[in-house]
Structure 1
């Protein structure tokens, strides 16, 4: 199968996945994976389908296959999501962190890491990831709000307040930021 066939099958897989037609998406991703085993994307697609079906073991094996082909932020984040869902929190923490080393603005990994960090008491360790993200995308309100929440957990109220005030400068109607600032 040619590279063009691979691209067509991968694109069709993505389209059907986007439309929620999992069986058709799976067929095209399998064709793409079979046509050219040197790309992680079809395996990431197959893993996404498995997650939507609640088949976590299968999803994990597809993420691992993708990871063997090429370790990307998507494969690290995908494995982290499965580990988070199957209560393997420390492993999830490590995979989300690794995803952010590859791509500092991977939202799935960042918010997975925030959730896990609160659950396992490792909030201080994730501050650099949130700060790096904001260096790249300073106007991402959800990330700045998460950073403020983490700072409050670490009893750094002044720093948290500064981030909340910055949110409110840009978005004066942000009720969540107003409430959190009022609590401080």
Structure 2
């Protein structure tokens, strides 16, 4: 049996067992996949997910970093950032979320985590361009436009916020959070 087929089978089994919540078995197969021929990021992402399920943040960070060395993607950046955020290292996480969005502006985990951190770290002015870039790709996404409006309100850019909220309600007249925020303005 070829090494690549070994890798694929072990990775698939790891994914199946992880999905079923059987962490020990998933870990065995991901570890086999990680040690088979060639270097692939996926088994490390699987092992990171297992570590997170077990509350082992340092182990998860280590696995995300290994995956990142092999193949830096928006997923590896976001994974590293989520662990850093859990560890209370928001400022470090912020940069990784930004990098994730440079790779993939539509990574919702990175986008909404960045909004949350922007509020916590008073860096909303740095978050606004990422929300705007997302809306260039998918202008109809009410939740993202609403988040943008919320950031603009906090930045005292109320006229711009009002315009964004009106756009949300044009496309989605029943979007309650936008109605409420507009009423407050």
Shorter-chain-normalised TM-score: which range? over 0.9
- For residues 11 and 160 of structure 1, the distance between their equivalents in structure 2, rounded to whole angstroms, comes to 46
- Describe the shift of the 1:15–1:144 C-alpha distance in structure 2 as closer, same or farther (beyond 3 A): farther
SS at match of 1:105: coil
Q: Find out whether 1:180 has 2:181 as its counterpart.
A: yes
User: Structure 2 CA distance, aligned partners of 1:111 and 1:174?
Assistant: 18
Count of residue pairs the alignment pairs up:
184
Deviations 1:50-102 (A, max 9, x none): 11211100000001111111111111111100111111111001111111111
Q: Quick check: 1:35 aligned with 2:32?
A: no
Specify every segment of 5 or more residues in structure 1 that has no aligned partner in the other structure, as ranges.
none
Aligned to 1:165: 166
Please name the residue that 1:47 is paired with: 48
Report which stretch shifted further, 117-126 or 15-24.
Answer: 15-24
Q: Give runs of ≥4 in structure 1 deviating > 6 Å.
A: none
Measure the CA separation in 1 of the matches of 2:142 and 2:82: 23
- In structure 1, C-alpha distance between the alignment counterparts of 2:162 and 2:17, rounded to whole Å: 45
After TM superposition, the score normalised by the length of structure 1 is 0.94
Residue 62 (structure 1) aligns with? 63
Q: How do residues 1-184 of structure 1 correspond to structure 2 at under 5 angstroms?
A: 2-184=3-185
Greater shift, 5-14 or 83-92, is seen at 5-14
For the structure 1 residues 19 and 164, does the alpha-carbon distance in structure 2 shift closer, same or farther, using more than 3 Å as the test?
farther
Paired with 1:175 and 1:102, the residues of 2 have a C-alpha distance of 32
Pairwise CA distance, 1:34: 1.3
Cα shift readout 1:20-72 (whole Å, capped 9, x = no counterpart): 23222222211211113511111011111111211100000001111111111
- Counterpart CA distance in 2 for 1:80 and 1:124 is 19
TM-score by length of structure 2 reads 0.93
Assess, with a 3 A threshold, how the Cα gap between structure 1 residues 78 and 152 changes in structure 2: closer, same or farther: same
Give, in whole Å, the separation in 2 of the partners of 1:61 and 1:179.
43
Moved more, 35-44 or 67-76: 35-44
Question: Structure 1 residues 164, 59: closer, same or farther in 2, change over 3 A?
Answer: same
Unmatched tracts of structure 2, length 5 or more: none
